[in-house]
Structure 1
Amino acid sequence: MTVPTLLALAAGLGLLIAGGESLVRGAASLARTIGMSSLMVGLIVVSFATSAPELAVSTGAVVAGYPGLAVGNVVGSNIANVLLVLGVSALCVPLLVRSQIVRTDIPVMVALSVGVLLLALDGTVGPGDGVLLFAALLAYVAVSVVVAHRRRNTVAAREDDGAARGAGSRVRRVLADALFVAVGAALLVVGARLLVTAAGDIAAALGVSDLVIGLTVVAVGTSLPELVTCVVAVVRGERDIAVGNIVGSNVFNIGFVLGVTAIVAPQGVSVEPSAIRFDLPIMIAVALVLLPVAFTGSVVTRWEGALLVAFYAAYLTYLVLATTEHEAFKSFAAAMLWFAVPITALWLLVMATHELRVRRRRRRDGPPALDPADPGG
């Protein structure tokens, strides 16, 4: 473990913090300037920017002749985004979840996750499959933009004619905000690469195998931009950006990163049988977990965040034990399969059922009599 490695580690962390601050500041201001909600900016602008490290790693793997790494990168990052990034963000501040996320965006993420598994059943995500994934992403973005545009027009219709005189300054603000977003994204990419490289060197110095490094450091490292961006967002009070960034990043990772990589790779992206049997189903299960978690009161609470982080720790432990063929692997796998996962699934089902009953009761009884004007009644 050398001094340059430690310096690279510190520099990477510093760039990630600065990039997250710049990206959130620019995105939040951009949302206000163009009349688009913070949620939509998080789903589209921020999620695209924070998916840049995954794109860099995946396309670099294709160029280097290792297209199969792209699948592990995307799947590992999507799992880390939900379990680690969302979990840590919720531990900082409970996250409010808009109904649009529950009704539309999370189901889109689940559908794309299932789609990847179906496309990979033959062992390859080919160029044609990549086109399908990329087309699905374009359709998702187009619909999101149209919906946001209609809402913006509704707000704009209430403004007076004098607003046109501020058009010049508005354009300048948009350009300045876009510059903040671009600079933030660039800092996140450079910081993530520095941090991943340094962490890999440290892990190698400690005698950890290359496979374990790839399963852990690369997946976590390429999710660091999402983690830093979400933590900065919740600290600054932009919780819509945090939730939108996580869901949007997972959608972009599948549709854009994996889709483009499959198109670029002449023979497509190969998928290992172990990924089809274990990692891809885990990615789908993690995406499905978000539905009941977000549905219970439309809030991701601190205890739910702690549960997500605990599951990510368990997932990493499973990978390490399986890779090293440790003697404790069978006992750990049996405990997860027959105890932890069923109990958690049952608890989430009970919570979701309870929330459904509460909402039905509210619709049946109507708004509270003491506060009939309350819009949330």
Structure 2
Amino acid sequence: MTAVLLLLAGVVLLVAGGESLVRGASTIARAFGLSPLVVGLTVVSFATSAPELAVTVQASLSGRPGLAVGNVVGSNVANILLVVGVAGTIISLAVQSPVVRRDVPVLIALSLLFWVMAADGSVSTPDGVVLLGLLLTYTTVTVVRSRRGSDPGPVEEAPGAPGGAPVAALLVVAGVGLLVWGASWLVSGAATIATSLGLSETVVGLTVVAIGTSLPELTTSVTAAIRGSVEMAVGNAVGSCIFNLGAVMGLTAVISPSGVPVTDGAATFDIPVMVAVMMALLPIAFTGRRVAKREAWLFVGYYLAYTAYLLLDSAGHDALPQFSWVMLAFVIPITVLTLGLLVVQEVRVRRSRSRTT
């Protein structure tokens, strides 16, 4: 009963925190000359990734740095399939801003780099320094370009907070506190419930903990989508994924004396799935196409399939090899092929338009 109350209380705090953070961040964006999109890609994304950072650093210091990989990978998969998927079921997502269309390839490149780093069985301390350095460069370039006015802001903005920048700053601080507090309560309650149902710690870490630490992003993006701020809804998810790889994974690798160990399962399945999921954003990056509601539901369905794999793996079910083969040899390649065809089609359309003009 206590676990259920913790879970419900965590959801309430997350909703309140998401509302406060979106309003405060939008006001700060206007006060300091930054577009709400850039704030979503930096301040809001980093703030809503605080639970992932807390979990992974704590795991590293407690002698379980391997948990960091599962949390980061699971959270990134949830950020795109679950966060963008759920937000897309509320409102069609069409990102025209060059900021997101530029930063999606950055996210894909960083994901591929992380895969290469993990191929030898660990993310070393030098690897962590590289990841942190790339994140710092990304953040600096994003802010500088926005200040110079080279990146236009989105057409729509989330509503601001009354009282100007001081009140907005308080709302951001309060929002972050509520998000972290709510995520902590929800993860604690959900983990207790999952354990009582006989799930393994691995599954709890990759599902309950990953979903729980991604709930701030989910709450913030859904709140932004409901209020019509499509750019912030997508920008928050993309920025959080970049922050998870650059700061959360990078800092954990730096703190861990011998780096972060990566299991064979993570290197051969979970990380490749994460890379494929990041590539699902290619139509946004190159074509500016909408993520229609039916496609958003497909994202959610993919996440349920990934969760089903983890449950089968935990139970050692006989259907696991067949399910893994279907995921790796059919679903993912078909998805990549479809995305490639969309890009080719868009290139042909643009060439046809240029010839007619």
TM over 0.5: yes
Residues 121 and 276 in structure 1, CA contact (< 8 A), matched pair in contact too? yes
Equivalent pairs: percent with the same residue? 52
TM-aligned CA deviation for residue 153 of structure 1: 11
1:183 maps to what in 2?
A: 174
Aligned residue type for 2:40: G
TM-aligned CA deviation for residue 353 of structure 1: 2.0
Count of residue pairs brought into register by the alignment: 348
Residues 89 and 234 in structure 1, CA contact (< 8 A), matched pair in contact too? yes
TM-aligned CA deviation for residue 351 of structure 1: 2.3
TM-aligned CA deviation for residue 122 of structure 1: 2.4
2:26 maps to what in 1?
A: 28
TM-score, structure 2 normalization: 0.92
Question: For residues 161-204 of structure 1, what are the alpha-carbon distances to aligned partners after superposition, in whole Å with 9 as ceiling and x for unaligned?
Answer: xxxxxxxxxxx722322221121111111101100110111112
- Partner of 2:34, secondary structure, is coil
Residues 297 and 355 in structure 1, CA contact (< 8 A), matched pair in contact too? no
Question: Within 2, Cα distance between the matches of 1:240 and 1:102?
Answer: 8
Which of 1 and 2 has greater Rg? 1
Question: Within 2, Cα distance between the matches of 1:128 and 1:56?
Answer: 21
Residues 102 and 295 in structure 1, CA contact (< 8 A), matched pair in contact too? no
Aligned residue type for 1:92: I
TM-aligned CA deviation for residue 39 of structure 1: 1.0
Aligned residue type for 1:64: S
- Partner of 2:164, secondary structure, is helix
Question: Within 1, Cα distance between the matches of 2:150 and 2:320?
Answer: 54
TM-aligned CA deviation for residue 118 of structure 1: 1.6
Question: Within 2, Cα distance between the matches of 1:114 and 1:253?
Answer: 14
Question: For residues 232-286 of structure 1, what are the alpha-carbon distances to aligned partners after superposition, in whole Å with 9 as ceiling and x for unaligned?
Answer: 0010111111111011001100111111111111222111122111111111111
TM-aligned CA deviation for residue 123 of structure 1: 1.8
What RMSD in Å do the two structures reach over aligned CA positions? 2.0
TM-score, structure 1 normalization: 0.87
Describe how 1:143-162 pairs up with structure 2 within 5 A.
143-151=141-149
Residues 134 and 259 in structure 1, CA contact (< 8 A), matched pair in contact too? yes
1:167 maps to what in 2?
A: none
**2:80 alignment partner, one of 82, 85, 93:** 82
Consecutive unaligned residues in structure 1, runs of 5 or more: 156-171, 367-377
Residues 53 and 222 in structure 1, CA contact (< 8 A), matched pair in contact too? yes
1:230 maps to what in 2?
A: 221
Aligned residue type for 2:61: V
1:210 maps to what in 2?
A: 201
Describe how 1:194-209 pairs up with structure 2 within 5 A.
194-209=185-200
Describe how 1:1-377 pairs up with structure 2 within 5 A.
2=1, 4-101=2-99, 103-151=101-149, 173-292=164-283, 294-366=285-357
Question: Within 2, Cα distance between the matches of 1:80 and 1:26?
Answer: 25
Residues 101 and 286 in structure 2, CA contact (< 8 A), matched pair in contact too? no
Change (3 A) 1:266 1:348: same
Question: Within 1, Cα distance between the matches of 2:77 and 2:259?
Answer: 23
Question: Within 1, Cα distance between the matches of 2:297 and 2:151?
Answer: 40
Question: Within 1, Cα distance between the matches of 2:329 and 2:130?
Answer: 37
Residues 83 and 311 in structure 1, CA contact (< 8 A), matched pair in contact too? yes
TM-aligned CA deviation for residue 338 of structure 1: 4.2
Question: Within 2, Cα distance between the matches of 1:286 and 1:194?
Answer: 28
TM-aligned CA deviation for residue 125 of structure 1: 1.4
Residues 102 and 291 in structure 1, CA contact (< 8 A), matched pair in contact too? no
Change (3 A) 1:240 1:11: same
- Partner of 2:281, secondary structure, is helix
Change (3 A) 1:316 1:65: same
